[in-house]
Structure 1
Amino acid sequence: MSGLTPGVYVDEVPSGVRVVTGAGTSTPAFLGLTYRGDDPDSDSPQLVRSWQEFHDRYATDGSVGLFDELKKAVRLGEDVMRGAWSAVTGGEAPSDLRTPDPGDELERFLPLAEAVHGFFANGGASCYVVPLVVEDNEFASLLRALEGGLEALESVHDVQMVAAPDIAVWATSTGDLGACARKLAAHCLKMRNRVSILDTLSTHTPVDLAEGLDLGLDGAQRTYAAVYYPWVQVPGLDGRPRQVPPCGHLAGIWAATDATRGVHKAPANVVIHGITGLTRTVSADEQGPLNNHGINCLRAFPGQGPTVWGARTQSRMESDPDYVYLNVRRLVCQRTSGAPRRRTADLPTGGHEKSPLVDVVFPRGGVSAGVSPPCLRWPR
C-alpha cells in the first residue's frame, strides 16, 4: 500500500540483530564391529536414535537380533552340555551346570553393542554407528578398518565425540592402544569439532598408569583426547556379566550433561548408570598421579554409585594449559563448528542489547545469570 490514503500503516524495520544457531554437542560416533544384515549401506555411518533401533538395524534379518542369536547359542550349548553329562554319567545334569560362552563369531560384536547400550542408558539421545569390517582376528586388520571408518566419518559434520570400544578389547599392549588413539585424535584435530573418548587396557593398574599413559600423541592431538580408567562391569546384554570399556557410558554422560547444563559444564561428579560396578577400586592417593597425567578416574564412593571423578584432556598443564580441561576444549569445539564469526558491523550497537552469541554458548543462562554481556569473555 502507498500510504497516501487515510489509515493506519505498519512499516517493519529490521532490528539489525542476526540469528546465530549453536551447534549440537551431544552426538557421538561409535566405530566397531557389528552383526550386520544385508543392508547395502551397512558400512557407512548410520544415525541411530534409540537402543531398539540399533538392535533392529544390526540383525541377521528383519526379526532376529544379535542378542536373540546370543541367547539361542547359549541355550543350544547348554542343551548339548546337559545331554553329554547324562550320556556319560547316566544321571541328570546338575541345575548349576555352567552355561558355555557363546561362540567367538557372536561374542566379538558385543563391545560396540555394550557401548551403544551404555550411551542410551546414561541419557544419550542419538548417535552414529560406523561398522568396521575386518579380514581376520589380527589387530592390524582392526587398525586398517578404523582408518576407513574415520575417513567415512569426515563427511558427517554433526558428530562431536568419537569412540571405538573394540580398540581396548583387541589391543594387547599400550603400543596397540596408541596406534589407534593417534588415528582418533588426528581425525578430531582435522575436523576440529569433536573429541575422542579413549579407554585403557583392562589389565592396567594404577601403578602402571602412575607415570602416565604413553599413547604417542603430539601436543595438538592431546587436546582432542580424553582417557578414562578403569573398565566397568555390566550385567551383559545376553544376561552374562562381563567387563567392558567405559567409553560408551561416558559418551552418554557427556550428552546428558550438555542437555541439562550446557557444554560449559564439566561432565564429572555424575553417577554412571547401566553398570554393576568398576573392575578396580581407585583410592584418592592413587588418583593423584593419574589426574596429573590427564587420566580421568571412575571412583566408587560410599552411599552412591560409581561416579565420574575427572574431566581432563591429555594436555599437559606445563606445555598447553589452555585445553587441560575437557569442558573448555568442547566449548571451543562448539564455537568452531556452530557459531560463525560475525563482522563488527553485524553486532547490535545499543548498550541494552545482548549478542545472540551469549544465548548460543550459555543457552540456559546458568553460568551467565546476572552478568551483563560486556562482562562475558571467551576462554583462551
Structure 2
Amino acid sequence: MARLDYFAPGVYVEEIQRGSRPIEGIQTNIAGFIGFTEAVRGGAEPFKPMLVTSWNQYLQYFGQEGSDGFTDFDAYLPFAVNGWFLNGGGRCWVTSIGTRLPGTPEPPPEQTGVKIRSSANRPALLFNLKPEESDNGSIEVIITEGQPNPSNEEGENSDSPAPVAAEFFTLIVGRDGEELERYEHLTMNPEVQAEVGTYVVTALEQSSFIDALDLSQTGQALSRRPANGQYEVSPPPLVPSPETLVRDIQGIRDERTGVQGVFEIDEITMLACPDLMRAYQADLVDLDQVHGVMELMISLCENSSPNPPNRMVVLDPPPDCVKPQQVAQWLNVFNRRSMFAALYYPWIKVPNPRKGGRPILVPPCGHMLGVWSRTDETRGVYKAPANETPRGVIGLSYDCNFREQELLNPLGINCIRTFPNRGIKIWGARTLVEPEQTEWRYISVRRLISYIEKSIELGTQWVVFEPNDEDLWSRVRRTVSNFLERLWREGALFGSSPEQAFYVKCDGDLNTPDSMILGRLYVEVGVCPVRPAEFVIFRVSQWTGQDE
C-alpha cells in the first residue's frame, strides 16, 4: 500500500494494486426442494431448508435409520431429490413440510420410537422423546459398558446371588455432542436389588428428555441387555394440519420457513415443490390453492430487488392433465406467464422401492433440474438443457407425438418424448414467458443472463467507495470485458469477435458530473447470447450442375 508521506530518508518498498480484478462466475446449479419426507432428524428442522450434498446425506436427515428414504404414502419429494442426484445434481437444499399427509392419525409411540436390540438381536428397549422435547430436535442415546454399584459390599445379602457385572450398562443422553444426563449401574432386571443397581425403565422415569419401554419378554437380564452403541431418538412424525398446509408450504420469511425460507438462501438458483401435486391428489388443496403457491414461487423468482433475479422455478402440471389438450387447457386457466418459470409434460414413470420396484408416476421437476445441473457442469449454463436423456426414468404417463407437441411447444410447455431407438428425450427448452417476448423464450438464455448479472454483481464489489474517476472507469471496463471475453471464448456469446459478442461502456457520457455528485457510477453492458437451434431446416433442391 502506498504511503502518503515520508519523514526519514531511505528506500521504501511498497505494494500497489494495478489492473483489473478477475470476475469469477457464480455456481448456477444449486436447487431447492419443498415437500414431504419420511423423517426429520440429524439436525434438520421441520419447515426449514437443510443443505444436502448426496443421497446418503439426504437419508441421514430425512430418512428413518436403515430406511431407503421413501415413504409409505408415496411422497414425491424423495423421488425428486433422488432424480436430482441421479441426473448429476450436486448441492441442494431440502425443506420438509411434514412426515405424514395432513389429517393422518398420529401413530402410537411404540411404532415411532427407536427400537434398541440386544446383542442376540432381540428387541430390548424402545426410546421416545418426551412430548415437551419434540420441538427441540433429536437426542443422542449412548449405551456403554457398566458395572453394579461398587458401594454394595460382597456378601452383604447372602440370600441373593452375586450380580453378574456384564448385565449392567451405562446410558448417556446428549445433544450436539453435549452430555445432558448420565445413568449408571443400569440393568434389564426389574427385580434388581436397589443397592446393586437400577432397573433401566425406573431410572429413566427421572429423565427430562426421553421415555423408555421394556420390549424384552423373557430370559436372563444378561441376554436382554441392549447392545452397546449410539442411537438417535428423533421427534415423533410431523403431521401438519390440513387447515394450515398451504400456509406451511408458503412459510414465513422472518422465520426462514417454507417457500419464503428457501428464497433466503442466496445460492439457490432453481426451485421445485413436487408435493404440491401430492397434496392436490389427496384432496388437501384445490386447484386455486395450487395456483396460489405457484404464483408465489414465480413472484419470488421475479422479485429479488435490489439484486438481479437469478432463480427459476420448474412447475409440474396437475396429475389429472394426462392428455396434451388437458395440460394446454389447464395452463390457460392458470394464465400466469413468466421468463423465470418452466413447465415440463408429461409425468414420468420411475421405480418405487416401497412397492418392490414397481413403477410409479411422479412429477418430472426433480429429474429435469438434475439435467439442468448436469448440462451446466458438462457444457455450460448457455447450453439448452434439452435433447438429453433423463436418468432413472423408465416410462411416461403419455407418449406425446409430433403433432401434439406442435400444440404444446408454442405455449411454452416442454415435452418429454419417447423416440424409436433413441429412448426418452427432453424435447423442449422454453420458459413460460409471454409469446411476444421472443428474446426470453429459452431457458438457457434466461439463465445465462442471470449468470452474467450475478457474477458481475459479486465480482465488482471492490468498486464500491473507490474514487469515481476515469481510472476507475477504465478498470471496471477491463474487469467486465475480460469476464465477457472468457464467456465468448467458451461459446456462450455469439459473434466472430469479442466486438460482435458484447460491449462494455463506462465513460463520461454515462457518468456526468451530476450523477457523480450523487455518488453513482453507471456501467452499460450489452451481450449477444447464443440461442439453441430449436428448428433445424435443410433446404434441398435438385441441381443439374449447370445452374448458377
Other structure's SS at 1:128 match: strand
Cα deviation, 1:330-363, whole Å, max 9, x if unaligned, reads: 12222333322857855667x999823226745x
Other structure's SS at 1:29 match: strand
The alpha-carbon distance between structure 1 residues 353 and 178, as it changes in their structure 2 partners (threshold 3 A), is closer
Is structure 2 residue 157 aligned with structure 1 residue 154? no
The alpha-carbon distance between structure 1 residues 247 and 235, as it changes in their structure 2 partners (threshold 3 A), is same
Indicate the residue corresponding to 1:356 in structure 2.
482
The alpha-carbon distance between structure 1 residues 21 and 164, as it changes in their structure 2 partners (threshold 3 A), is same
Distance 1:215 1:193 in 2: 27
Is structure 2 residue 103 aligned with structure 1 residue 136? yes
Indicate the residue corresponding to 2:49 in structure 1.
45
Other structure's SS at 2:249 match: helix
Amino acid at match of 2:247: R
The alpha-carbon distance between structure 1 residues 359 and 234, as it changes in their structure 2 partners (threshold 3 A), is farther
1:4 Cα offset (Å): 8.0
Choose which of 94, 100, 112 in structure 1 pairs with 2:77: 112
Other structure's SS at 1:374 match: helix
Distance 1:139 1:280 in 2: 31
Question: Contact 2:54–2:85 at 8 Å: present in 1 too?
Answer: yes
Distance 2:409 2:243 in 1: 31
Indicate the residue corresponding to 2:33 in structure 1.
30
Indicate the residue corresponding to 1:268 in structure 2.
386
Is structure 2 residue 323 aligned with structure 1 residue 198? no
**Unpaired segments ≥5 residues, structure 1:** 71-105
The alpha-carbon distance between structure 1 residues 13 and 327, as it changes in their structure 2 partners (threshold 3 A), is same
Distance 1:286 1:65 in 2: 41
Pairs within 5 Å for 1:252-267: 252-267=370-385
Question: Contact 2:456–2:480 at 8 Å: present in 1 too?
Answer: no
Distance 1:40 1:206 in 2: 43
Question: Contact 2:39–2:62 at 8 Å: present in 1 too?
Answer: yes
Other structure's SS at 1:235 match: strand
Choose which of 467, 476, 500 in structure 2 pairs with 1:375: 500
1:17 Cα offset (Å): 1.3
Which range is displaced more, 145-154 or 337-346? Answer: 337-346
1:315 Cα offset (Å): 0.9
1:369 Cα offset (Å): 9.1
Indicate the residue corresponding to 2:233 in structure 1.
none
Other structure's SS at 2:248 match: helix
Distance 1:21 1:346 in 2: 19
Other structure's SS at 1:281 match: coil
Distance 1:37 1:169 in 2: 19
Question: Contact 1:270–1:308 at 8 Å: present in 2 too?
Answer: yes
Pairs within 5 Å for 1:298-313: 298-313=416-431
Is structure 2 residue 461 aligned with structure 1 residue 339? no
1:277 Cα offset (Å): 1.1
Distance 2:478 2:299 in 1: 43
Distance 2:298 2:333 in 1: 10
Identify the structure with the greater strand proportion.
Answer: 2
Indicate the residue corresponding to 2:491 in structure 1.
366
Which range is displaced more, 325-334 or 288-297? Answer: 325-334
Is structure 2 residue 425 aligned with structure 1 residue 322? no
1:140 Cα offset (Å): 5.8
1:130 Cα offset (Å): 1.1
Q: How many residues align?
A: 333
Which range is displaced more, 23-32 or 199-208? Answer: 199-208
Amino acid at match of 1:147: Q
**Unpaired segments ≥5 residues, structure 2:** 1-7, 105-240, 252-257, 464-469, 503-526, 530-548
Other structure's SS at 1:266 match: coil
The alpha-carbon distance between structure 1 residues 56 and 203, as it changes in their structure 2 partners (threshold 3 A), is same
Other structure's SS at 1:267 match: coil
Amino acid at match of 1:188: C
Indicate the residue corresponding to 2:193 in structure 1.
none
Which range is displaced more, 134-143 or 120-129? Answer: 134-143
Cα deviation, 1:84-138, whole Å, max 9, x if unaligned, reads: xxxxxxxxxxxxxxxxxxxxxx333531000001011111112110111375378
Distance 2:67 2:492 in 1: 44
Question: Contact 2:68–2:353 at 8 Å: present in 1 too?
Answer: no
Indicate the residue corresponding to 1:297 in structure 2.
415
Identity %: 31
1:304 Cα offset (Å): 1.5
Cα deviation, 1:259-287, whole Å, max 9, x if unaligned, reads: 11111111111011101111110001000
The alpha-carbon distance between structure 1 residues 132 and 338, as it changes in their structure 2 partners (threshold 3 A), is farther
Amino acid at match of 2:448: L
Cα deviation, 1:300-333, whole Å, max 9, x if unaligned, reads: 1011121100011111222x33322111111222
Indicate the residue corresponding to 1:184 in structure 2.
297
Distance 1:185 1:360 in 2: 31
Distance 1:120 1:286 in 2: 31
Question: Contact 2:88–2:374 at 8 Å: present in 1 too?
Answer: yes
Cα deviation, 1:196-248, whole Å, max 9, x if unaligned, reads: 001112221112134561364555xx111100000111012332321111100
Distance 2:373 2:279 in 1: 26
Indicate the residue corresponding to 1:17 in structure 2.
20
The alpha-carbon distance between structure 1 residues 209 and 353, as it changes in their structure 2 partners (threshold 3 A), is closer
Indicate the residue corresponding to 2:173 in structure 1.
none
Indicate the residue corresponding to 1:90 in structure 2.
none
The alpha-carbon distance between structure 1 residues 285 and 370, as it changes in their structure 2 partners (threshold 3 A), is closer
Distance 2:432 2:40 in 1: 38
Amino acid at match of 1:331: L
Indicate the residue corresponding to 1:54 in structure 2.
58
Question: Contact 2:26–2:451 at 8 Å: present in 1 too?
Answer: yes
Other structure's SS at 2:406 match: helix
Is structure 2 residue 366 aligned with structure 1 residue 237? no
TM-score (norm 2): 0.55
